[in-house]
Amino acid sequence: MLEINFKAFDSEKVKYSTLSLNIIFLINDKSLKNKLNKLDKTYNIKLSKLQKENLLSEDVSEIRVAKQNGQPDEFLFHKVKLDEKFNADYFRNYCAGLISKIKNEKIKEVHVSIPKHSTFKKYFNDESYFYQTFAEGFVLGNYNFDKYLSDKKAHGKLNIIFNSDNLLLLRKALNNAKFVTEGVNFTKDLQNEPGITLTPSEFAKRISSKFRGTSVKVTVMNEREIKQRKMGGLLAVGMGSSNPPRFIVMRYNGLKGKANKSKPIAIVGKGITFDSGGISIKPSNGMGEMKADMSGAAVVVGLLLAAEKAKLPVNLIGIIASAENMPSGTSMRPGDIVITSSGKSIEVDNTDAEGRMVLADALHYASKQKPQMIIDLATLTGACVVALGELAAGMFTKDDKLKDKLYSSGLKTYDRVWQMPLWDDYNYLIKSNVADVKNIGGRWGGAITAAKFLEMFVDKNIPWVHLDIAGPAMPNDFNNYTKKYMTGFGVRLLFDFLSE
């Protein structure tokens, strides 16, 4: 990956480099022709009649122009049309797409003239976040998981110089972009790591190492301690693997003074480092993606990393239940009855419904910490992907304030969520004749019955939301920063939610 450095300048003071790519955004409206005629005065560049005609054409979205004195710099003029296709992800996605061009042409410096926020108020209420999307795009588009390639490409350094008419907000935005993308990219590193190397114990070691020397305090419980706490769900899932489970707790106290003692927000993640399905084994097609069945847990780590870097004024407790779900002579079996740390019993009807079993212990542990709210993330069900596709997470909650805030943060960050039913009427589908609950509810409403299962292990007096991220955690071709690799979905969403 390129080493990217950000710099911020006032629009009136910036000097365009003669050895760089200079990106100018033009609003495609009635004033475009007049703006093109003023480019010579603004940027010291004269467009030919043909170039102006091209930019005025509806069929052309951008042109590149080399300076006439022969210097090896270029101007890239990109038209932005504020129509029904424009959205809050536009500039992030566009900048992410530029990275491959920058790498291929070995460009060392890019100047970005950010357009005036006032033009985009309809889409970006927050001016600082408007600036942030540009920077996020470059970093997210730059992501590459080449750890195991024998022939790695050396891309060097890239300086990206932004200028706007609000330097103070621009600097704040660049800092936030740096913090949150560091969290997203570390999340991606964990998601993309193969199961052969990222076992539960190795996962715990990497978390401890990442937060060493920071204000985040990490506690790792081994198999003996998990047994002492009677976490039967986590133990049952890990029984079939030679790699024993781990239970990981991270604490970050960002509030100072008396507020430091205020209740934390608990963020809980499913940490199945590889999910074969166990004895109820999955089809081989696509099973390789199950190395990322710990995506919810990875998001918890990335979020706390970003929060600590940004010194967010909030108290957090991150909780991860990590195991490997494998078939063997010691695996849990369909028909088994498991007693969880809450004392509630689970009838195992399908060993591939294991994520909810480890979360049962994690959510009970979270409830015992008396947090102000609990948010859990899990690649929990294929049913949620069938319902919503790859572009949104299923959101399950009975708390309207929590629902509205997360939905709003989703629209803003484009880590989008959509509310799903959590009606008690669905409880009959997971009723067991021999235990308190069954771990699977049959063919219909699978994402809903999974959420209803989890609800049983949460203190009813604590606001709770479950995010099923099975779809958007996986690679998709929708935009320029989610292709090829796992996506880190959820970090930007929750960072914004906590920032608010």
**Structural domains of the chain sorted by starting position, each given as residue range(s) with its CATH number in brackets:** 3-168 (3.40.220.10), 185-499 (3.40.630.10)
Q: Summarize the confidence of residues 38-48 as an average pLDDT.
A: 75
Q: Summarize the confidence of residues 153-157 as an average pLDDT.
A: 82
Q: Is residue 66 over pLDDT 90?
A: no
- Residue 282 annotated in active site: yes
Tell me how far apart the alpha carbons of residues 103 and 97 are, in angstroms, rounded to a whole number. 11
Whole-model pTM?
A: 0.96
Catalytic residue among 35, 282, 405, 483: 282
So what's the pLDDT on residue 16?
A: 60
Catalytic residue among 356, 416, 438, 492: 356
DSSP helix/strand/coil, 453? helix
CA distances from 43 to 25, 27, 60 (A): 12, 16, 21
| pLDDT band with cut points at 50, 70 and 90 for residue 72 | very low
Tell me how far apart the alpha carbons of residues 184 and 186 are, in angstroms, rounded to a whole number. 6
So what's the pLDDT on residue 13?
A: 63
- Residue 492 annotated in active site: no
DSSP letters for 365-381: HHHHT--SEEEEEE---
So what's the pLDDT on residue 407?
A: 99
Paired tokens of 295: 């995506």
Report long-range pairs for 365-369 (Cβ below 8 Å, ≥24 apart).
365/229, 365/231, 365/247, 365/249, 365/319, 365/341, 366/266, 366/268, 366/317, 366/319, 366/458, 367/457, 367/458, 367/459, 367/462, 369/264, 369/266, 369/317
Cα-atom radius of gyration of the chain, to the nearest Å? 25
Considering the chain, what percentage of its residues have pLDDT values greater than 90?
A: 84
So what's the pLDDT on residue 257?
A: 78
Which residues are paired to 80 by β-bridges? 27
So what's the pLDDT on residue 15?
A: 62
Sign of CA dihedral 477, 482, 488, 491: negative
So what's the pLDDT on residue 45?
A: 74
The pLDDT tens digits for 444-466 are: 999 999 999 999 999 999 999 99
The pLDDT tens digits for 280-296 are: 999 999 999 999 999 99
* 343-368 CB burial, b ≥16 within 10 A, e <16: ebebbbbbbbbbbbbbbbbbbbbbbe
| pLDDT band with cut points at 50, 70 and 90 for residue 432 | very high
Measured from the Cβ of residue 7, the count of other Cβ atoms closer than 10 Å reads 14
Q: What share of the chain is helix, strand, coil (3-state, %, to 5)?
A: 40, 20, 40
Q: How far apart are the first and last CA of the chain?
A: 31
Max intra-chain CA distance, the chain: 83
Most confident of 20-24, 257-261, 363-367: 363-367
Asked if 285 and 257 touch (Cβ cutoff 8 Å), the reply is no
The pLDDT tens digits for 84-103 are: 999 999 999 999 999 999 99
DSSP helix/strand/coil, 9? strand
